[in-house]
Amino acid sequence: MSLQTGPDGRARCAWTGMDAEYQRYHDEEWGTPLHGDRALFEKMALEGFQAGLSWITILRKRPRFREVFAGFEPAEVAAFGDDDVARLMADAGIIRNRAKIEATIGNARLVVDMADGELDALLWSFAPMAPHSRPVSFAEVPAVTPESTAMSKELRRRGFRFVGPTTMYALMQSTGMVDDHVVGCWRTT
């Protein structure tokens, strides 16, 4: 089943289930073009934290992530030190994974070293030039594409961490670089 009709009568991509937060995310964010270094850094960090977990876990913890990671302002996160890592490791409101926390701080330092708008331009340079045909079912949605693989390779070349090809395809979906709303979803009309 690729579509599910919610209590509001709208047909949505079935991955939302009947969870109100997932439905809101689907309706207002997922597949909507997102720009800006801070906003994209946040998505990159959260997608990295999601690796191996469900997105709903991250979505429910996002307010706390934003609070403890200084609104994902790259310059502020880049200034985090050992005391901040210890503080974050003790915070049950986020995913307490040292490697992911340290990667987020390290990635922020790389973003700070970039020119204003460079992260946005870099990430969007991997968006497919022509829109792809809408998937009819989720079986048609890839986990990795040549573009997400190229994005991952370039980010890793620059020193970014937790930016594997699957994670970067999820980033491409969440930021509207690709639009994988299935045929029949109200967002495709």
Residue 81: Cβ-neighbour burial (10 angstroms; 0-12, 13-18, 19+): exposed
Which pLDDT tens digit goes with each residue over 121-177? 999 999 998 777 889 988 899 999 999 999 999 999 999 999 999 999 999 999 999
Domains and CATH numbers, the chain: 33-175 (1.10.340.30)
pLDDT band at 12 (very low <50, low <70, confident <90, very high): very high
Which pLDDT tens digit goes with each residue over 48-69? 999 889 999 999 999 999 999 9
Q: Which residues are annotated as a binding site?
A: 13, 26, 181, 185
Tell me the catalytic residues: 25, 47, 55
Bridge partners of 4?
A: 12
Q: Which residues are annotated as a binding site for Zn(2+)?
A: 13, 26, 181, 185
What is the Cα–Cα distance from 86 to 93, expressed in whole angstroms? Answer: 14
What's the rounded mean pLDDT across residues 27-50?
Answer: 97
Share of the chain above pLDDT 90, in %: 88
What is the Cα–Cα distance from 176 to 187, expressed in whole angstroms? Answer: 12
Q: State pTM to two decimals.
A: 0.95
Residue 11: which region, alpha, beta or left (left: phi > 0; alpha: psi -120 to 50)? Answer: beta
Q: What's the pLDDT at 163? A: 98
Share of the chain above pLDDT 70, in %: 99
